[in-house]
Structure 1
Amino acid sequence: MQIRLGGLETSEVAALLAEHVEDMRRYSPPESVHTLDLDRLRTPDLTFWSLWQEDVVLGCAALRELDPTHGELKSMRTSHAHRRRRVAAALLDHVVAEARRRGYARLSLETGSPAEFAPARTMYAAYGFTPCDAFGPYVADDFSMFMTLDLADQPAR
Structure 2
Amino acid sequence: MDLAIAAETPLQDDVRDMVSALNAHMIPLTPREFQFQLTVEQMAEPSVTVFVARNGDGNAVGMASLKEHGEGLGEVKRMFTKPEVRGQRVGSALLQQVEQRARDRGLSRLVLETGEAPGFEVAWRIYERSGFTQCGAVLDYPDSGYSRFYEKKFA
TM-based fold match above 0.5? yes
Q: Find out whether 1:64 has 2:63 as its counterpart.
A: no
CA contact (8 A) 1:69 1:106 kept: yes
Counterpart residue type for residue 138 of structure 1: Y
TM-score, length of structure 1 as denominator length? 0.92
Matches within 5 A, 1:11-90: 11-53=13-55, 54-90=57-93
Aligned with 2:143 (options 135, 140, 144): 140
Residue 8 of structure 2 corresponds to 6
Give distance in 2, aligned partners of 1:35 and 1:79: 18
Structure 1: runs of 5 or more not aligned: 153-157
Q: Shift of the alpha carbon at 1:67?
A: 1.5
Q: Shift of the alpha carbon at 1:7?
A: 4.0
Give distance in 1, aligned partners of 2:134 and 2:122: 15
Residue 130 of structure 2 corresponds to 127
CA contact (8 A) 1:66 1:136 kept: no
Note the alpha carbon deviations across 1:70-114, whole angstroms, 9 max, x for none.
100001111112111111011011111111111111111001111
Counterpart residue type for residue 41 of structure 1: M
Name the SS of the counterpart of 1:48 in structure 2: strand
Give distance in 2, aligned partners of 1:4 and 1:41: 15
Name the SS of the counterpart of 1:27 in structure 2: coil
Q: Shift of the alpha carbon at 1:34?
A: 1.0
The alignment of Structure 1 onto Structure 2 pairs a total of residues equal to 152
Q: Find out whether 1:91 has 2:107 as its counterpart.
A: no
Give distance in 2, aligned partners of 1:120 and 1:99: 20
Counterpart residue type for residue 32 of structure 2: P
Give distance in 2, aligned partners of 1:83 and 1:23: 14
Q: Shift of the alpha carbon at 1:137?
A: 2.4
Counterpart residue type for residue 33 of structure 1: Q
